[in-house]
Each structure stands twice: as C-alpha cells, then as structure tokens.
Amino acid sequence: MNIILFGPPGAGKGTQAKELIERFNIPQISTGDILRAAIANQTPLGLEAKKLMDAGSLVGDDIVNGLVEERLKEKDTENGFILDGYPRTVEQAKVLDKILEKQEKEIDKVIALVVEDDEILKRITGRRVSKKTGKIYHIIYNPPVDENPEDLIQRDDDTEAVVINRLKNYKAQTAPVLDYYIEKGKVAEIQGERESKYITEEIIDLLENNCNI
Ligand code: AMP
C-alpha cells in the first residue's frame, strides 16, 4: 500500500504516519526528517538545505527528488510506504510518478488532512519534539509526561514568522499538488481538526476498505 499523507505544515501528517507505521508495518518517508538528519550530520546537502528550511522556503526539487528516489530503492519499501511531506510541488509529483513507474508501482491513495490556518499557527508554535524518542508533543494540547524537559526542542522553523512563510509557500507551491491527484481520483480528504485518535481510525478504515493490503 503506497500512500501520501498530504496537508499543510502542522496538519498532523507526522503524528498520523507514526500510527500507520504500527498498523500496516510499512515505513514513513519524511523528506523533512531526511533533510534534518542531513543537517545534524553537517553534510554539504544539509548545510545547503538548512538556510532554506530556516526561512520556511522549499528545498530544490532536484535535491528532494534524488533523496526520495534513493530511499524508495530500499527493501523495506517493497510492501508499501507512507510519504510524508513529499511531493510538495507539482514537479515533484510528476517525477515521483516516473520513479514509481520504473519500479512498476503507483500511489494508491492520497490522504489529505484539512486544517485551517489559525489552528495551524497555534499547533506549530506550541509544537515540541523529543530529541531522544522523536515523539511529537504540544505544550498545551499534548504535554509530555514521561520525557525529560531538556530533551524537548522546538524546530528552528516552528517560530511564528517562519510558519507564516511556510503557509504562504504551501498555498502557492504545494496546494496545486492536491489538484494533480484529485484529477487522478486518488484523494480522500479527512477533517484534521479533531482528536488525533479519531483521525487515525478514519484513515485506517478508509485504507482497509479501499486499498489492497
Ligand atoms: P517538514 O518536516 O515536512 O515540515 O519539512 C520541513 C522543511 O523541509 C520544509 O519547510 C522545507 O524547507 C523542507 N522540505 C521538506 N520536504 C520538502 C519537499 N518535498 N520539497 C521541498 N522542501 C522540503
């Protein structure tokens, strides 16, 4: 089962991906996580990407397409994968189609999480990530109970000014990707402003009833 988790920053893609990994035993491929790992390892690619990411701009299509193509060659993606944060431009979506075609695969479903801008701003500016466990929290909505406060960090691009820019770029560059997949009849829109567990239930139901798994 090959799926894309789609939606604006802060829609809950990462949170839902973690649930789906457990349920379906397929890996999450988050281009944001791959890029952050490159930054942490101070690779040339990471250093180049960091400036763009810190400003809330997108990293170049060629770079992310190359990362995803390599990742999709790995064996753990054979039975399926969850793309999170990719494709983010129509150009990326077209390249992804070509990458998958070479592997005789295709996207089965695009799960689009719908969340309004004011809610996104609240969510992202309060978001904290554990550098130990990778778990995602919110200082008010989902405060951590068994984490050491020193392990919780705010992403450099989760500040209000940067989020506003990320949202602007989402509307201009990423929202059109949804139309690309709507035309192919692959999109399921899911209301993302609810308690996380209800969203997970709806996604799992939808995938179990619509995909060969
Ligand atoms: P995310 O963790 O998905 O919110 O991504 C964080 C940042 O990484 C984005 O704001 C972009 O700067 C960069 N990024 C992640 N995925 C992509 C992508 N598919 N295309 C371009 N830039 C990306």
- Which tens digits make up the pLDDT trace of 163-173? 999 999 999 99
| Predicted pLDDT of residue 212 | 62
More confident position, 154 or 210? 154
Does the structure show a pLDDT above 90 at 190? yes
Cα 149 to ligand 1 centroid, rounded to whole Å: 26
CA distances from 37 to 10, 34, 45, 152 (A): 19, 5, 10, 17
Catalytic residue among 71, 88, 123, 128: 88
Task: Quote the Cα angle for 146-7-159, to 5°.
Answer: 55
> Mean pLDDT in the chain?
95
Task: Give yes or no for residue 53 CB within 6 A of ligand 1.
Answer: yes
